[in-house]
Each structure stands twice: as C-alpha cells, then as structure tokens.
Amino acid sequence: MTDLDIVDDDVMSVILSFVEPDVLQPSLYLVARSLKALASVSWRFRRLCLPWLYRDVAWFWKDVDGHFQFIPESLWIYVRKFRLTGSSRRYPHIPRRRDVFLDSEDLASRVLAEQLAVAIPRMTGLREFCFDLEATYWPGPWQSLLESIALSRTLESLEINGQWRCQWEALLPLSMNQVPIRRFRYSPYLSTLSRLDHQVAVQGMRDVEERQVEAHNLRLLLSSFCETLNILEIPAELANDLSLSFPSLTELTMCGHSPLPVLSSSLWSEIVPEATLRVLDFGVVRSSGAHMSSGQVSLLARNLSHLHTLILSNALPNDAIFRALPSELSHLSLNPYPLPYPRPEAGIPVKIMPGAALVRILTIGKFANLKTLSISYRWDSNESDISLINSLHDICPQLVHLEFSRYGTQPGGDPLDVLILLQTSLRRSVHLRTLRLNLENAPASPSLFESLHANDRSAKRHSLLRDIAIGSTRLHSISYLLLDFPFKCSFDWVWVTWDVRDNDSVRLNF
C-alpha cells in the first residue's frame, strides 16, 4: 500500500470515480465490494472512498420486517442517487378495490414513507430518486411517499418504474414547486395488468381506469415543474391526456401503444410549444398514421427545427415527420418496437418495415449530416438490398456509426451474403468508425441454431467481417449479434465485438 499512500487525494478521487458498483454480487446497499475493502485499509482511504461508496444507493424493501437496514445517518450526505427497490409475495397483482389491500401492506407503506421523510431532507447531495418497487406486487408511488420526496431541495431527476392502475391510487393535490426537477421518467410503457391477463384483445394496452388514474396523477405531479422540465419520458398512450405544456423541454420519449396519431400537430402545439427539442424518441406500436396539411407540416417543422436526434419506431414513408426534419439532424434510428431480440414483449406482434419502404424514407429525408444511423428492415427483394446498401454513402456521406439489421433472406439464401454488398459500399464511407450488424436473428428452429453455431459458418462470418475491416480505412470496431448458449437447454442473442487494429488485423474481443 506504500504506492497508494503517496498518491495525491485529488488523483485518488479521480481514480475512485471510475469504480462502478458491483451489481452482479451486491452487498447490503449494492455498493462495490472492492471499494469497501479499500475503505477498511486506513482512515484516509475511508474518507476518500465513502463519497463513492454511497453515491448510488439501492434500498431493498419487502415489508415492515423484511427490508435491509437503512444506511446510517452519517452517510446520508454522500447519496447522489437513491433507488427504492424490492418485491412482495402477498398478491399476484394489485387489487382493484382499496379495502382488499391488507392493513399490513398499508403499514409497510407508511413506515417506508416515514423513514424517507426523515432521511431525504438531510441528503443534501441527492440528485436522483428512482421508484423501482416490483410493479406486479406494489401500487404506484403513493401520497405519503411523494410528500417525502417533495421535501428534497436538490432533487433533479425523478424516475417512476411502478404503475398506477386503480382509482383508489388517485393522488390528492400535491405541490413540488420547491423541488428543482429537470428530468421526469414514468416508464411503465405497457400496462402490467393487461400483460398478466392473457384474455385481453391487445396485450400491453391500458384500460379506461388505468388511463384515468395515470393521467390524473401525472398532471398533479408535472404541473409543479412543467415550466422548467428539460427531459420527459412517458407512455405514448397518455400523451394526449396530460393537457400540459413544457416550454423548456429538450428531450421527449414516448413509448408503448398509441391509440391516437402521436405525430399530430395538435399534440406538438400543446406539449412542445417552442422549438426547444433536441432529442425525440417514439418507440410506439404502430397505429393509424397522421395525415397533415401543408400548414400543419410547417408547424411541426418549426417545433423540430433544432432537433439533432430522432428515434422512430415502425415508421412509414408517408409520415409527415420526414418532411419536417431539419438538415442538421445528426442521429437517426429506425427500428421496430418492441425489438425482436432478445425476445419481443409477450403477445405484441413485431412489425418490421420492408426494405423498399426504408429506401423511400432515406431518399426523401434530409440526412446529409447524419453521424449515427441505426436501421432495421425485413428482406423483400434483392433489388431493395442492393438499392439500400449502395445508396448509404450518397445519403449519409458523414456517417461515423452504423447499426444495420436485416431480418430474413430470399428462400434458400444465406444471410451472410449481404456482407459482400456491405464490403463494397462501406469502402466509400471514409468516416465510418463503428459498425454493428444483426443479420442472423430469425425464428427459433433447432436446425437454424445448429447451422449458426457450426464451425464452417463461423469461419465464413469471420472472413467476411475481416474483409470489411480491411477495406474500411477508419473502422475501429465491428459488433455482431450472435447466438449464445450459456446453458444446455437455453440460448440468448448477445453482441460480440471485434477490434480493428492498425495493421489490418481483426481481434475477437469478448
């Protein structure tokens, strides 16, 4: 330890900032055990490690007697992110009627809120609070818990991963005007109840009661800080029910089902009245498209005039948003929602656009300044493959990062054959540094799995990837989606990365 003893405190602080919590084998508060060991060496290291040990705290809660001991009061000042996590075994799901909720569950909720009401005002460095109680067993954030969170004067990010589902969860008026929240995330994009009920017509879609209570509670919360909010993430189903404007919004994410056209001009004029958006993410299950007049397209173009990142799922070539995009757009993602890998959400069909539709989208848009492009399509003809791949450089001459996903191939064809087309096209992409390829993701079949895992196929894949690496002058890495078999009877899709060295060699890097 002599060498560490002479290291300056400022240098040690920088080193410790790179140590991430060990989430695979968590200790009591999900902190890094390597840091805990270092903190026990001396008083100096203890003083240096404590701010990093407890900057991200996850408190596991099950019930009144089944939770981990709360962190000591002397450590509260170090907490930057607090995650309330846990589960329960009492209910298969939250009851629809309040009187069915057991008194013991009610007591657990009160005790939890009281503990946080004491601690949160004294967590003077708290920046993020994440409500992550198991959505299947717990209700959404309740009144006393939110009142405890409202006692913070430093909180900037509030994240809710639980869902309000029943009318008895409706909140009373609540003021969070003194909380400087800049980021709000309500992430149950798909309904938990409908995903549990296999008899519903549309998996993941909310019923009337769910939408009413969620919209009511979100309006109460967001109205306190909608004027200053910069980042907002909400389910797409609730976007038309908020009746709130966010004049300072720079990032907007809406995912899940969308019963109404999410690209309508009325939605934009209400939610984002000013041209402030920089990042826009629509991960929605496709519904009917929005037909806009030229005036409405002009309004949409004004609101998106500063956009630099667009993530759009299940798009169509005639979507008005492609006529409204600014030429300065630098990041574009056109992938299905939900993603087909590692496995789609149960019961929700995955719709992947055909190659011809993707070609039309890329040719009508303004993408000359794109630095990052992520695209997915299903094979429909060899002509679409050739047209798409050969036009990539002409459409996006400044491309630095490319993620390319193709699903399916011609009958009897080999998915790897598209690598030959890519090899020729990417030689002209002189700025390309990273390439991610998903070409062999297909429906489960034992014969397919055997062929994907065969040695001769692996050799062919590696040879083609090496040819791409050698032909691309600035390429630094290639990632490829492959099947992994961690156990005898199970499999998963994982990304494997090859590093490209200066001597034109390609090294497999796990």
Whether the pLDDT of residue 55 is over 90: the answer is no
Q: Please give the residue that has the higher pLDDT: either 241 or 105.
A: 241
Quick one: pLDDT at residue 26?
39
Whether the pLDDT of residue 22 is over 50: the answer is no
Domains, the chain, ordered by start: 1-54 (no CATH), 55-89+104-191+206-229 (no CATH), 327-443+454-509 (3.80.10)
Q: What is the mean pLDDT of residues 219-229?
A: 91
Quick one: pLDDT at residue 170?
92
Quick one: pLDDT at residue 504?
52
**Across 241-245, 296-300, 377-381, least confident range:** 296-300
Whether the pLDDT of residue 130 is over 90: the answer is yes
**127: pLDDT confidence band, cut at 50, 70 and 90?**
very high
Whether the pLDDT of residue 20 is over 70: the answer is no
Mean pLDDT (the chain) is: 78
Q: What is the mean pLDDT of residues 494-498?
A: 88
Q: Please give the residue that has the higher pLDDT: either 189 or 405.
A: 405
Phi, psi (rounded to 5 degrees) for 154: -125, -5
Question: pLDDT (tens digit, 9 = 90+) per residue, 482-494?
Answer: 877 666 566 677 8
CB 433 within 8 A of CB 401: yes
Quick one: pLDDT at residue 24?
35
What does pTM read for this prediction? 0.83
Whether the pLDDT of residue 307 is over 80: the answer is yes
Q: What is the mean pLDDT of residues 410-422?
A: 87
Q: What percent of the chain has pLDDT over 90?
A: 32
Whether the pLDDT of residue 99 is over 60: the answer is no
Q: Please give the residue that has the higher pLDDT: either 93 or 389.
A: 389
Instruction: Quickly list DSSP for 277-300.
Output: -SEEEEEEE--PPPP--HHHHHHH
Quick one: pLDDT at residue 359?
94
Quick one: pLDDT at residue 411?
84
Residues with Cβ within 8 Å of residue 251, at least 6 apart in sequence? 230, 231, 232, 277, 278, 279, 280, 281
Residues with Cβ within 8 Å of residue 99, at least 6 apart in sequence? none
* Cα separations in angstroms, 44 against 55, 90, 125: 18, 46, 22
Whether the pLDDT of residue 204 is over 80: the answer is no
Quick one: pLDDT at residue 132?
86
Whether the pLDDT of residue 103 is over 50: the answer is no
**Across 41-45, 106-110, 187-191, 343-347, least confident range:** 343-347
Quick one: pLDDT at residue 58?
82
Q: What is the mean pLDDT of residues 385-407?
A: 94
Instruction: Quickly list DSSP for 96-131.
Output: SSGGGS-HHHHHHHHHHHHHHHHHGGG-TT--EEEE
The DSSP letter of residue 238 is G
- Among 95-109, 174-188, 197-211, the range of highest mean pLDDT: 174-188
Q: Which two tokens stand for residue 456?
A: 């001769």
Whether the pLDDT of residue 335 is over 50: the answer is yes
Whether the pLDDT of residue 425 is over 80: the answer is yes
Q: What is the mean pLDDT of residues 423-433?
A: 91
Q: What is the mean pLDDT of residues 455-468?
A: 84
Strands 157-160 and 128-133, sheet pairing: parallel
**278: pLDDT confidence band, cut at 50, 70 and 90?**
very high
**25: pLDDT confidence band, cut at 50, 70 and 90?**
very low
Neighbours of 6 (CB within 10 A): 6
Provide the terminal-to-terminal Cα distance of the chain, rounded to the nearest Å.
Answer: 32
**Across 18-22, 84-88, 150-154, least confident range:** 18-22
Q: What percent of the chain has pLDDT over 70?
A: 69
Q: How far apart are CA 477 and CA 434, in angstroms?
A: 5
